[in-house]
Protein backbone atom coordinates (compact mmCIF):
# COMPACT_ATOMS: atom_id res chain seq x y z
CA UNK A 1 0.00 0.00 0.00
CA UNK A 2 1.33 3.43 -0.96
CA UNK A 3 1.05 5.90 1.94
CA UNK A 4 2.33 8.82 -0.12
CA UNK A 5 0.74 12.22 0.31
CA UNK A 6 -0.20 13.69 -3.06
CA UNK A 7 -1.57 16.93 -4.37
CA UNK A 8 -1.51 19.46 -7.15
CA UNK A 9 -3.08 22.48 -8.73
CA UNK A 10 -6.69 23.21 -9.63
CA UNK A 11 -6.36 22.31 -13.32
CA UNK A 12 -4.33 19.16 -12.60
CA UNK A 13 -1.28 20.06 -14.68
CA UNK A 14 1.09 20.34 -11.70
CA UNK A 15 1.13 17.28 -9.44
CA UNK A 16 3.42 16.15 -6.63
CA UNK A 17 4.03 13.24 -4.27
CA UNK A 18 5.68 13.07 -0.84
CA UNK A 19 6.68 9.62 0.36
CA UNK A 20 7.59 10.67 3.93
CA UNK A 21 5.52 12.05 6.77
CA UNK A 22 5.45 15.86 7.04
CA UNK A 23 8.11 17.55 9.15
CA UNK A 24 5.73 20.29 10.31
CA UNK A 25 2.66 22.27 9.43
CA UNK A 26 2.34 26.02 9.84
CA UNK A 27 -0.18 28.79 9.29
CA UNK A 28 1.52 31.99 8.15
CA UNK A 29 -0.16 35.36 8.63
CA UNK A 30 2.37 37.56 6.78
CA UNK A 31 1.31 39.90 4.02
CA UNK A 32 3.42 38.05 1.45
CA UNK A 33 1.53 34.81 2.10
CA UNK A 34 -1.78 36.67 1.99
CA UNK A 35 -0.93 38.18 -1.38
CA UNK A 36 0.39 34.89 -2.74
CA UNK A 37 -2.75 33.00 -1.73
CA UNK A 38 -5.47 35.66 -1.84
CA UNK A 39 -6.51 34.45 1.62
CA UNK A 40 -6.21 35.96 5.12
CA UNK A 41 -3.51 33.38 6.00
CA UNK A 42 -1.75 30.51 4.25
CA UNK A 43 -1.19 27.01 5.65
CA UNK A 44 1.91 25.09 4.60
CA UNK A 45 3.17 21.60 5.27
CA UNK A 46 6.90 20.83 5.12
CA UNK A 47 8.24 17.58 3.66
CA UNK A 48 11.83 16.31 3.54
CA UNK A 49 13.22 17.30 0.12
CA UNK A 50 14.53 13.79 -0.57
CA UNK A 51 11.02 12.37 -0.19
CA UNK A 52 9.33 14.86 -2.50
CA UNK A 53 8.92 14.87 -6.28
CA UNK A 54 6.95 16.81 -8.85
CA UNK A 55 5.09 14.17 -10.86
CA UNK A 56 3.27 16.33 -13.41
CA UNK A 57 4.26 19.61 -14.96
CA UNK A 58 6.73 21.60 -12.88
CA UNK A 59 5.42 24.70 -11.13
CA UNK A 60 6.52 28.20 -12.00
CA UNK A 61 8.54 30.04 -9.34
CA UNK A 62 8.50 33.69 -8.30
CA UNK A 63 11.22 35.19 -6.07
CA UNK A 64 8.99 36.88 -3.48
CA UNK A 65 11.79 38.07 -1.20
CA UNK A 66 15.53 37.95 -0.75
CA UNK A 67 15.06 34.65 1.10
CA UNK A 68 12.17 32.82 -0.57
CA UNK A 69 10.46 31.77 -3.79
CA UNK A 70 6.76 30.98 -4.29
CA UNK A 71 5.41 28.19 -6.50
CA UNK A 72 2.27 28.42 -8.61
CA UNK A 73 0.72 26.78 -11.64
CA UNK A 74 1.42 28.79 -14.78
CA UNK A 75 -1.86 27.56 -16.31
CA UNK A 76 -4.48 28.00 -13.57
CA UNK A 77 -2.56 30.19 -11.09
CA UNK A 78 -3.02 27.88 -8.09
CA UNK A 79 -0.84 28.58 -5.07
CA UNK A 80 1.35 25.50 -4.59
CA UNK A 81 4.08 26.26 -2.12
CA UNK A 82 7.34 27.94 -1.38
CA UNK A 83 10.99 27.29 -0.79
CA UNK A 84 13.19 29.22 1.56
CA UNK A 85 16.91 29.40 0.90
CA UNK A 86 17.71 28.56 4.53
CA UNK A 87 15.52 25.43 4.38
CA UNK A 88 17.03 23.66 1.38
CA UNK A 89 16.43 20.29 3.07
CA UNK A 90 12.64 20.56 2.72
CA UNK A 91 9.81 21.41 0.36
CA UNK A 92 6.81 23.40 1.55
CA UNK A 93 3.45 22.97 -0.14
CA UNK A 94 0.19 24.72 0.55
CA UNK A 95 -2.20 22.53 2.48
CA UNK A 96 -5.03 23.58 0.17
CA UNK A 97 -3.20 21.89 -2.72
CA UNK A 98 -3.20 18.47 -1.01
CA UNK A 99 -5.66 15.85 -2.27
CA UNK A 100 -6.32 14.85 1.36
CA UNK A 101 -5.52 17.88 3.54
CA UNK A 102 -6.99 16.23 6.65
CA UNK A 103 -4.03 13.80 6.66
CA UNK A 104 -1.69 16.53 7.91
CA UNK A 105 -1.78 18.76 10.97
CA UNK A 106 -0.71 22.26 11.91
CA UNK A 107 1.95 22.80 14.57
CA UNK A 108 1.92 26.58 14.99
CA UNK A 109 1.12 30.04 13.63
CA UNK A 110 3.87 32.39 12.44
CA UNK A 111 4.09 36.12 11.67
CA UNK A 112 1.09 36.77 13.89
CA UNK A 113 2.22 40.37 14.30
CA UNK A 114 0.81 40.77 10.77
CA UNK A 115 -2.45 38.90 11.43
CA UNK A 116 -5.56 40.63 10.17
CA UNK A 117 -7.51 41.78 13.23
CA UNK A 118 -10.78 40.23 12.02
CA UNK A 119 -9.22 36.83 11.26
CA UNK A 120 -8.59 34.69 14.31
CA UNK A 121 -8.53 30.92 14.48
CA UNK A 122 -9.66 29.34 17.73
CA UNK A 123 -7.01 26.79 18.57
CA UNK A 124 -4.39 26.22 21.24
CA UNK A 125 -1.43 26.09 18.87
CA UNK A 126 1.71 28.10 19.64
CA UNK A 127 1.85 31.55 18.06
CA UNK A 128 4.97 33.45 17.05
CA UNK A 129 5.07 37.17 16.31
CA UNK A 130 7.66 36.54 13.58
CA UNK A 131 9.21 33.24 12.57
CA UNK A 132 8.91 30.06 14.62
CA UNK A 133 11.75 28.67 16.66
CA UNK A 134 11.05 25.32 14.95
CA UNK A 135 13.04 26.35 11.87
CA UNK A 136 15.95 28.71 11.25
CA UNK A 137 15.17 32.08 9.70
CA UNK A 138 17.25 34.71 7.94
CA UNK A 139 14.35 37.09 7.52
CA UNK A 140 13.79 39.84 10.05
CA UNK A 141 10.38 40.62 8.64
CA UNK A 142 8.71 39.86 5.30
CA UNK A 143 8.20 42.91 3.08
CA UNK A 144 4.94 44.69 3.81
CA UNK A 145 4.24 42.83 7.07
* Residue boundaries of the structural domains of the chain: 5-114
pLDDT, one tens digit per residue, over 67-85 is 889 999 999 999 999 988 8
- Say how far apart CA 139 and CA 142 lie, in whole Å: 7
- Say how far apart CA 107 and CA 53 lie, in whole Å: 23
Contact 127, 108 (CB under 8 A): yes
Percent of the chain with pLDDT over 90: 76
CATH topology of domain 5-114: 2.170.150
Least Cα distance to 93 among 52, 127, 129 occurs for 52
The residues, ordered by sequence, that sit 6+ positions from 37 with a Cβ below 8 Å of its Cβ are 79, 94, 96
pLDDT tier at 25 (50, 70, 90 boundaries)? very high
Amino acid sequence: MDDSIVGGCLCGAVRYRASAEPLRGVICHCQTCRRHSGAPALAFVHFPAESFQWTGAKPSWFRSSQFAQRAFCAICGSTLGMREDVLADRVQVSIGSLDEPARVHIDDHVWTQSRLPWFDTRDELPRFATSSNAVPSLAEQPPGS
